Amino acid sequence: MYSIGQLAKLSNITVRTLRYYDEIGLLKPSVKSEGGHRQYTEENITKLHNIMILKEFGLPLESIHEILKNKLMEITELLHLRLKMIQSEREKLEKMERSIQALLDFSLLENETKWIKLFESINSYPTNKFELYKIKEDYFSMEEQNVIDTLPVIGDGSEQTNNWISLITDVQKNLNGDPKSEIAQKLAGRWLALVHKMYQGNIELSQKTWQLIKNGDKDLGFYRFDSKLVSFIDEAISHYVENSGRLQ
């Protein structure tokens, strides 16, 4: 048997903490004298160590109480539990990271820093993958969908997405210029080169998708370009093709 003071010293926690654990029913001493003196057994010590491990894992006392329920857990069970917690936390962090990255991407694409405008943009961007899949079935073959599934996704932080956003922002900076100017023609060349890479050389699919984006009659999960940008890039590419004789 161990007194509360001995157990506190042995486990490197305070007497106050042990009293609190007793009060909430988390760790009750095996023996409690009429004078209020607490006595702890080896089983109590083992349970306390399990509590301390779970607490170290970040679990609140209420959850620890539910987990133990007076049944001691093996160390492997505790490790598996902690692993699940870490995996869950990681998923939440990754989701948060994607959301923040998406906001940053939209702020660049929309050239906007006002919160209301940013949230309007991101909320208009479809995220339900199953619904998107069903919609795309009506427009694309399975082979085409396989290519489309590799296209840049706002918020994924990939190099291809960053290159795409960089190009769009460069185009936006020159919308008031002449689509036939030298700068516009370089942008058209960059646009065609990136599209060729994104669509894995499938020019027909890239043109088909661009037309659907321009029509905007169905939300297919693609970024919605401003009509001014669409007109500018169309004219710039048309002039580029006339002079070079090739799409890419």
Name the residue range of residue 236's domain: 125-244
pLDDT at 122: 46
**What does the alpha-carbon distance between residue 134 and residue 101 come to, in Å, rounded to a whole number?**
26
Q: What is the tally of structural domains in the chain?
A: 2
Residue 132 shares a structural domain with residue 59: no
H/E element, 3 = strand 2-3
H/E element, 40 = strand 38-40
| Dihedral of the alpha carbons of 235, 238, 240, 244, in degrees to the nearest 10 | -170
What digits encode the pLDDT tens for the residues 44-65? 988 898 888 888 877 788 888 8
pLDDT at 118: 45
Looking up tokens 């598996």, which residue turns up?
Answer: 80
The reply to whether 79 falls in a domain is: no
Q: Which phi and psi angles does 40 have, rounded to 5°?
A: -115, 145
Residue 138 shares a structural domain with residue 240: yes
Residue 36 shares a structural domain with residue 134: no
Enter the pTM of the model: 0.54
**What does the alpha-carbon distance between residue 104 and residue 165 come to, in Å, rounded to a whole number?**
11
Residue 138 shares a structural domain with residue 237: yes
If you average pLDDT over residues 217-228, what whole number do you get? 73
Residue 156 shares a structural domain with residue 228: yes
What digits encode the pLDDT tens for the residues 91-130? 887 777 776 776 677 677 766 555 444 445 444 455 555 5
Q: Domain with 20 in it: what CATH number?
A: 1.10.1660.10
Tell me whether residue 115 is exposed, middle or buried, using C-beta atoms within 10 angstroms of its C-beta: 0 to 12, 13 to 18, 19 or more: exposed
The reply to whether 67 falls in a domain is: yes
Q: How far is CA 106 from CA 55, 80, 162, in A?
A: 40, 39, 12
Residue 145 shares a structural domain with residue 229: yes
If you average pLDDT over residues 31-35, what whole number do you get? 77
Residue 199 shares a structural domain with residue 133: yes
The reply to whether 111 falls in a domain is: no
**What does the alpha-carbon distance between residue 205 and residue 180 come to, in Å, rounded to a whole number?**
26
% pLDDT > 90, the chain? 30
**Which residues lie below 8 Å from residue 160, measured CB to CB, with a gap of 6+?**
152, 197, 198
Least-confidence region, from 77-86, 116-125, 175-184? 116-125
